[in-house]
Amino acid sequence: MDKIHIKVSVNHQMYEKDVDSRCTLGDFLRNDLGLTGTHYGCEHGVCGACTVLLNSKSVRSCLLLAVQANGSEITTIEGLANDDGTLSELQQAFTECHALQCGFCTPGMLTTLTELLSENLSPTEAQVKSAISGNLCRCTGYQPIVDATILAASRLRDKSIPSAAIKQ
Amino acid sequence: MKPAPFKYHAPTSVGEALQLLAKLENPKILAGGQSLMPMMNFRFMMPSHIIDLNQIDELYGIELRDQSIHIGAMTRQHDIQTSDLVKKFAPIIPDAYDLVSHRQIRNRGTLGGSLCHLDPSSEQPCFISALDGEIEVMGPNGRRSIPIGEWTSTYMTPAMNDDELMIGTSFKPWPDGHGWAFLEYSRRHGDYAIVGVAVLSNINEKREITKISISICGISFAPYRLKDAETNLIGMVADQHAIEIAIKSIDSIEDVMEDAHNSSEYRRHLAKVYTRRAIELAFQRANNHNYGQNTH
């Protein structure tokens, strides 16, 4: 078997491992690192459950080889909470708006929407829907997820106003 | 749902990739991996060697050179979609990318990968066809350029040799004030189109058509250009009568493809409906300077 040595940072922790060349990033996270928060649904790029952030960009971890992540910074669902362990604004809004039921799609939803909010703190409903168009949820009907994202965005905007004022 | 074993290679230059391509048995080129990886997970594809292009810096980038836009084969779809240069000179491209799959896919997927994969329903060969793009390939005998009209050899197969590598695509920007539209019908947002239509058009102050290009995906192996209609429309007033002529020409397309879900007559019907809408929108946008600013 073709084994390759890789070095990746996952949620700000460095890992060095020998991986099979055919091992996908999602399998590496789940099986080699024990980070089972990243969920595998379809394993062919349709359901979005396995979405992680690779150098801050959302990607399907089932469509990437672990060796391709060599030298990268990866953020998974396990890395989204604040450093003190409290939930991020987006996670908090998800719980308040009932934006999850079974939770299977949630890691993919949160990573995808974290990318959206990192670029756009005033997303319209249409922009949120477009952002999660590649993430399937069979429980919620999506509306609570959209509501939670709009709520988190408004709270993040409120937080960012004072710091913007200080800069000026 | 796991890929079969293969040996992995990550060259850092085009030259190195070409050497690997010449030497290895049963190799497959990995670009963005958004089509190849699912096919490998399903084991539709079981290459013995993967040649990963992701570390070849010279294959990335978008630039205006010799009056043409050049896009490196490995440039990510999201980077093309959000490029100021592309927005300014080819606004049809960001519009079309809104319809190409989802953000997570566009973050990894590449224009070069899509042009080589050549799915008949893909938007990307279609807008490159409307733009009269050229595909640049590199092989053991050097570089050559293939017009998009000659790029499809057969179903999902580009007209390059096994020892050649696609390195980029280029096209000349359309004249200032051109109108554009990319419209499609698909079952869900982000799915492959059942039928999609790309239209570019220039019209003068008398509202006469001076230049037009109409390309349709989802009806044949290669993007289908309505060449005869394009020729006939030059000099005509940009109105419903002109649009009728273009729509009528769709009736004479032979061998419209079909599958279990979409008959050839249904695809032909969609092609007519969406060609009409796309031409109308392109005519509206032509010479209307407000349009250049409202997308993205």
pLDDT beyond 60 at A165: no
Shortest Cα–Cα distance, B1 to chain A (Å): 7
Q: Say which CATH number the domain at A67 has.
A: 3.10.20.30
Q: What is the per-residue pLDDT across A8-60, written as a single tens digit (0 to 9) for each?
A: 999 999 999 999 999 999 999 999 999 999 999 999 999 999 999 999 999 99
Q: Specify if A167 maps to a domain.
A: no
Q: Does residue A41 sit within a domain?
A: yes
The tens digit of pLDDT for each residue in B24-63 reads 999 999 999 999 999 999 999 999 999 999 999 999 999 9
In a shared domain, residues A50 and A112:
no
Residue A93's pLDDT is: 98
Q: Which pLDDT score, from 0 to 100, does residue B104 have?
A: 97
Residue B1 banded pLDDT, cuts 50, 70, 90: confident
Distance from CA of A26 to the nearest CA of B (A): 11
Tens digits of residue pLDDT in A112-135: 999 999 999 999 999 999 999 999
Contact B29, B165 (CB under 8 A): yes
- State the average pLDDT for chain A: 95
Residues of A in contact with B7 (CB under 8 A): 2, 21
Do A99 and A67 fall within a single domain?
no
Do residues A71 and A125 both lie within one domain? no
Q: Which residue of B has its CA nearest to A41?
A: B1
- Integer angstrom CA distances of residue B293 from B70, B109, B202, B224: 23, 26, 18, 29
Q: Please indicate, yes or no, whether residues A94 and A121 belong to a single structural domain of this protein.
A: yes
For A100, half-sphere exposure in the C-beta direction (CA atoms, 13 angstrom radius) is 18
Looking at the structure, tell me whether residues A122 and A93 fall in a common domain. yes
Last residue of a domain, one of A23, A45, A79: A79
On whether both A41 and A97 belong to a single domain, the answer is: no
| pLDDT for res B287 | 85
pLDDT tens-place string over residues B239-291: 999 999 999 999 999 999 999 999 999 999 999 999 999 999 999 999 874 44
Question: Does residue A168 lie within any of the structural domains?
Answer: no
- pLDDT of B290 reads 46
For residue A139, being part of any structural domain is answered with yes
User: Which CATH number do you get for residue A127?
Assistant: 1.10.150.120
The answer to whether residues A97 and A156 belong to one domain is: yes
In a domain, A127, yes or no: yes
Residue A166 clears pLDDT 80, i.e. is over it: no
* A42 and A100, same domain (yes or no): no
Note whether B34 contacts A58, CB cutoff 8 Å: no
Same domain, A75 and A128: no
Report residue B49 CA to chain centroid gap.
27
Mean per-residue pLDDT over chain B, rounded: 95
User: How many domains, in total, are found in chain A?
Assistant: 2
Give tens-digit pLDDT for B188-212. Answer: 888 889 999 999 999 999 999 999 9
Nearest CA in chain A to B106: A59
Of B2, B8, B189, the CB nearest to A4: B8
Q: Which residues, listed in sequence order, are joined to residue A60 by a DSSP beta bridge?
A: A51
pLDDT at B295: 43
Looking at the structure, tell me whether residues A127 and A69 fall in a common domain: no
Query: Per the domain annotation, does A52 fall within a domain?
Result: yes
Q: What is the ipTM of this complex?
A: 0.94
Which of these three, A29, A61, A79, is where a domain ends?
A79
Q: What is the pLDDT of residue B296?
A: 39
Based on the domain organization, do A95 and A156 belong to the same domain?
yes
A161 pLDDT band (50/70/90 cuts)?
Answer: low
Angle between helices A89-96 and A143-167 in degrees, nearest 10: 140
Which domains can be identified in chain B, with CATH numbers?
A: 7-52 (3.30.43.10), 57-171 (3.30.465.10), 179-294 (3.30.390.50)
Model confidence over B134-188: pLDDT tens digits? Answer: 999 999 999 999 999 999 999 999 999 999 999 999 999 999 999 999 999 999 8
Q: Is the pLDDT of residue A167 over 90?
A: no
- The pLDDT assigned to B191 comes to 87
A84 within domain boundaries: no
Domain extent, residue A23, equals 3-79
pLDDT band at B78 (very low <50, low <70, confident <90, very high): very high
Q: Tell me what pLDDT residue B291 has.
A: 43
- Using pLDDT thresholds of 50, 70 and 90, give the confidence band for residue A162: low
CA of B167 vs chain A CAs: smallest distance (Å): 20
pTM over 0.90, yes/no: yes
CB contact under 8 A, B103 and A134: yes
Instruction: Tell me the C-alpha distance between B7 and B128, whole Å.
Output: 33
Interface contact B5-A21, CB threshold 8 A: yes
* Least Cα separation, residue B2 to chain A (angstroms): 8
Question: Is residue A28 domain-resident?
Answer: yes
Nearest-Å Rg of the Cα atoms of chain B is 19
Q: Find the residue in A nearest to B54 (Cα).
A: A68
Mutation target vs B (from A5, A22, A28, A39; most B CBs, 10 A cutoff) = A22
Could you read off the pLDDT of B113-145 as tens digits, one per residue? 999 999 999 999 999 999 999 999 999 999 999
Q: Is residue A101 domain-shared with residue A141, that is, in the same domain?
A: yes
From A79, A102, A127, give the residue that closes a domain.
A79
